[in-house]
Amino acid sequence: MNKEDILFPHEEIREVQDELIETVQEGVTAGTDVIVHAPTGLGKTVASIGPALKYALENKKTVFFLTSRHTQHKIVIETLRAIKDTFKTKFTVVDLIGKKWMCLQPGVNTMFAGAFADYCNKLKAEGTCEYFSKLKKGEKITTDGNRSIKEIKSLNTPSNEQIIEVSREHGVCPYYTAMQIAKKANVIIGDYYYIFSPGIRENYLAQIGKELKDCIVIVDEGHNLPNRIKDLASERLTTIMTSRAVKEAEKHGYEELSEQLTELSNVLESMGDKLNSNSLRETEKYIRKEDFIDEIRGIAKYEKFVQDLKFIGDAILEEQKLSYIRSIADFLEAWLGEDEGFTRIISKHISRKDKKEYVMVSYRCLDASVVSEQAIKGAYCTIMMSGTLTPTLMYKEILGFPEDTIMETFRSPFPEKNKLNIIVPKTSTKYEKRSTEQYKEIAKAVATMTNTVPGNSVVFFPSYRFRDDVYQYYNHESEKAIFLESAEMNKKEKEELLEKFKEYNKKGAVLLGVAKGNFAEGIDLPGDYLKCVIVVGLPLQRPDLETKALIDYFDNKFGKGWDYGYLFPAFNNVLQSAGRCIRSETDKGVIVFLDERFHWNNYRKCFPETWDIKTTMLYRTLIKRFFEENGD
């Protein structure tokens, strides 16, 4: 394999990595979509972007590298810099984050996405954004704008931070400066939304003069894409929003609207009260589109009410950066949308902040393909990859990939002897089996494991409540320091906890977390920082109405409702949690799956077929032997 043909900038192509490169090369050459499950360590970034860029440069295509995390941008930038330095290849790169996060206007980070877009467009149209005005005069770029663009282009593959900093120094808008560079860019790094949000995609491609059919789209961490798209296509309205909107209307002197919003809040409260009208004390139920519209028509004409809310919300956005009135208008407009692939639910919740009850009406997207299919079919080709993209067939179907899509599952390049995967078929986290005795048994089993491990362990539970129920007994069994994750932790608190945890790498500590929590994805604890991960049970919550609707929908569409709507998404959390353990070819560690159900055929089938997993009740013996044989 000639490295120049695939723009591979490193000395050695890793084992299995060559197969991934060939698969990507096959896809881009034929214009065929690709879905790959590629474990940590394969070097997915360089294996995908190298051959894709090579083809793009030779065939006038543009590569979009899309990821859900800002931290991933750095890896892509470093890879592209290495390609430039190694092959002296000339190409232009633009690194983007969301427009709001690149904006220099003070206070915009508090704005909702839709409100910010309207606010930005209004400032531009009225010529009141000094940063945009300093960049462009009509259709022409100003002197300051050209200086900023020239300086950014002189940098070797500038990051979004560098684009923002240079633009700030010249007093011009970073986002639209990047847009000017993007017109001739060969690689654009950004969020999923740049391609998978129809409105953003059409607007963005039009402004940079590119067509979707000429784009090679690489989707990193692709397991996140379905939920991100569904969240993008969903809207909600709560009594918290309506009460804040009432105050907003009063503050700005819109008395009539304030009265209407009070009525709207009362309607939601009344609908919420009906949930408790029977002995079951329901907390949610489905609601018909027409029934909610009829409730609104009791306040005002639906269409006029929406227009009034939009008009007044936009006016308020001129004075402040946030408008709940405008957000309510967006919800009411979305409520008129399609029924197929969506569900409508009214529910009651308790606020985390003040512990008060509130009512929510939600319009939830069930089917990501209603958005993604158009983008995938429109692009020259789409390459989706992740370390937990199993089963690949599910992602192909739920995202609307075409029949000829190439699907591959690759094995880990790391030595198998460095990792011990074991299923311990005892205890259960099933609701009907939860009891004091069960919590004690789980605590004892986990403590036996973590006390045996010569270093740090992380234990993932299905929920915070379950974790706390076990912790009260585990606390007395553990011989090591214990760290507890909290659902409300901010970024700084998470980083501080991890740093303290890492300090225990020699004598060992235990972090008790949650499979869908802060540390199940996106963290690296390489080398001696983590020796063992224990996944306690399956993070299968009792199906709520949205999940039930999803199961029914996928049953009708694919005949796989239970798997696609419930089991596989939960199991993906299991695999993500397990993936924290082995992050490099020199890491050595143990991964334990503690629950009798992991050994059942309908759950065991969810593990990647390339994994070597032992089922045993002699877990202490196996763990002890593993670390003795691996020098610990």
Q: Mean pLDDT, consecutive 10-residue segments, the chain of 632 residues?
A: 90 90 97 93 92 97 91 90 94 93 90 81 89 92 95 93 96 95 96 93 94 97 94 95 96 95 95 70 88 94 95 87 91 95 94 86 97 97 93 96 96 84 92 92 97 94 94 96 90 90 92 88 77 92 92 96 93 88 82 94 87 93 92 60
DSSP state string for 541-553: PPP-HHHHHHHHH
Q: Which domains does the chain have, with CATH numbers?
A: 1-91+186-233+368-411 (3.40.50.300), 105-184 (no CATH), 236-365 (1.10.275.40), 416-629 (3.40.50.300)
> What is residue 278's predicted lDDT score, i.e. its pLDDT?
52
Instruction: Supply the DSSP symbol for 560.
Output: -
Residues 6+ apart with CB under 8 A from 606: 390, 567, 568, 571, 574
> Which structure tokens are listed for 285?
């139920």
Asked whether the whole model's pTM tops 0.85, one would answer: yes
Query: Is beta strand 235-238 parallel, antiparallel or unpaired with respect to 357-365?
Result: antiparallel
Largest CA distance in the chain: 76
> What is residue 516's predicted lDDT score, i.e. its pLDDT?
85
Beta strands in 53-172 (DSSP E): 62-66, 93-95, 136-137, 140-141
Distance CA 142, CA 294 (A): 53
> What is residue 70's predicted lDDT score, i.e. its pLDDT?
77
Q: What strand order describes the sheet that includes 457-461?
A: 481-484, 509-514, 457-461, 532-536, 589-594, 419-424, 613-615
